[in-house]
Amino acid sequence: MEIFEPRLASLRFSPSDVDPSANKEFLRARYGVMVETGAKDEADQETAIFEPLDLISSIDAIMLLREELIKYPPSYVLALGVASIRLVADLQITKSEYYEGLHRVGGAAYSNGQLYVVYYERHRVHTRETIHHELEHLAQDRDEAWKNKIAVLRWICEEWREGQWDGLNRSSGLPFLGEKYWRLSNAERQRLDHSGFVKPHSRLSRREDGATVAGRLMTNPQKLLIQRRCDDQILYQKALHMVGMFNGRTSGKMGGRFFRELEFGFVRESYWR
């Protein structure tokens, strides 16, 4: 697990913005997102077992969420249909397409627009990546509808994603593991060769591979678009593909220029006004 904090994460707000109620209202007004940090209620998913955050952690977690969401144009988040984001101290999911029984995870996305994200006080960059990771899962579910409307995205989805993405992984000699991934111990997962992938978890499936690329791209574009160009061509090509996906989904708002400005810290709250 990486613990670096990239330059672009150092966004600045006024002292009043630290107020959790004000931050919740801001995110609801701008993105239509309900932010939850308390105990489980009837609206929560039955398969999500979580520990709520304490007050101090909630304040920082909501602020961090605000810092990450403002990287997106409001129209994009609204199009994803994000209904709520629950920030939690610990999360276990009782069932998925790959396993039965409780598994501890860093986040979860449900088709009704509910997201769960674990706040890691000592590894805040992991929380940042998870926010974008789970948003990408919602975007993956919408790509079919988007590509029917946008010609360039149709090409990227059908030609690139279905062909070259899998071809890149075959050329690395590292296949997706599917349910086999969850049969490994924690230590075995962390030791997995993940050349061409962001992290070992990326080898679970194509969906996880794409979501981990999105998470890293939105938090540290320099690492994928500059460093990996030199030392991991497969991952670099995946990053370029993801830039194309964001560009197509947002009608050009989140293309190459956006990611350059994101890296240098120019993407702030006023960026999308």
Q: What are phi and psi of 96, to 5 degrees?
A: -150, 180
Which domains, and CATH codes, for the chain?
7-272 (3.40.390)
DSSP character at residue 4: -
The encoded tokens of residue 62 equal 């909501």
The whole-number average pLDDT for the span 264-270 is: 91
Note the pLDDT tens digit of each residue in 176-217.
888 888 888 889 998 998 888 999 999 888 889 999 999 999
Q: Distance between CA 83 and CA 196 in Å, rounded?
A: 33
pLDDT for the residue 103: 82
Q: Distance between CA 161 and CA 216 in Å, rounded?
A: 18
26 HSE (CA, 13 A, CB side): 17
| Dihedral angle sign, alpha carbons of residues 106, 15, 35, 271 | negative
pLDDT higher than threshold 60 for residue 32: yes
The whole-number average pLDDT for the span 122-144 is: 93
Instruction: Between 99 and 231, name the one with better pLDDT.
Output: 231
Q: Distance between CA 207 and CA 85 in Å, rounded?
A: 20
Confidence (pTM): 0.86
Q: Distance between CA 271 and CA 269 in Å, rounded?
A: 6
Q: Distance between CA 244 and CA 149 in Å, rounded?
A: 15
pLDDT for the residue 234: 86
Alpha-carbon torsion, ordered 200, 172, 214, 88, to 10 deg: -10
62 with 117: CB under 8 angstroms?
no
